[in-house]
Amino acid sequence: MKIIEVKTLEIPEIKVIRYNRFRDHRGFFAEHFRSSILFSSSEIDSLNSAKFLQANESFSKKGVIRGLHFQWNPYMGKLVKTISGHMVDMVLDIMRGSPNFGKIILYDMPQSNENDYGEWIWVPPGFAHGSFFLEESKIEYFCTGEYSPHCETGISPFTKEIDWSICDEKLKNKFYNICTDPIISGKDKNGPSLLEWVDNINSENFIYEKLKNKGLC
Express each pLDDT in 6-40 by its tens digit. 999 999 999 999 999 999 999 999 999 998 888 88
SS3 helix, strand, coil % of the chain, rounded to 5?
20, 40, 40
**What is the distance between the alpha carbons of residues 160 and 156, in angstroms, rounded to a whole number?**
9
**What is the distance between the alpha carbons of residues 18 and 121, in angstroms, rounded to a whole number?**
9
CATH, residue 96: 2.60.120.10
pLDDT value for 49: 81
Asked if the structure places residue 17 within a domain, the reply is yes
Count other C-beta atoms under 10 Å from residue 61's C-beta.
Answer: 11
Domain count, the chain: 1
Asked if the structure places residue 14 within a domain, the reply is yes
Parent domain of 56? 3-202
Asked if the structure places residue 209 within a domain, the reply is no
Q: Are 140 and 57 in contact (CB under 8 A)?
A: yes
Asked if the structure places residue 97 within a domain, the reply is yes
CA distances for 121 relative to 9, 92, 97, 129, 211, angstroms? 10, 14, 24, 11, 19
Per-10-residue mean pLDDT, the chain, length 217: 94 96 93 88 86 96 97 96 98 97 98 94 97 98 95 96 96 96 96 95 96 92
3-state DSSP call for residue 189?
A: helix
pLDDT value for 168: 95
pLDDT value for 42: 84
Burial class (CB in 10 A: 0-12, 13-18, 19+), 135: middle
List 207's β-bridge partners, or say none.
96
Asked if the structure places residue 210 within a domain, the reply is no
User: Which sequence positions are flagged as catalytic?
Assistant: 69, 141
pLDDT value for 39: 87
Asked if the structure places residue 216 within a domain, the reply is no
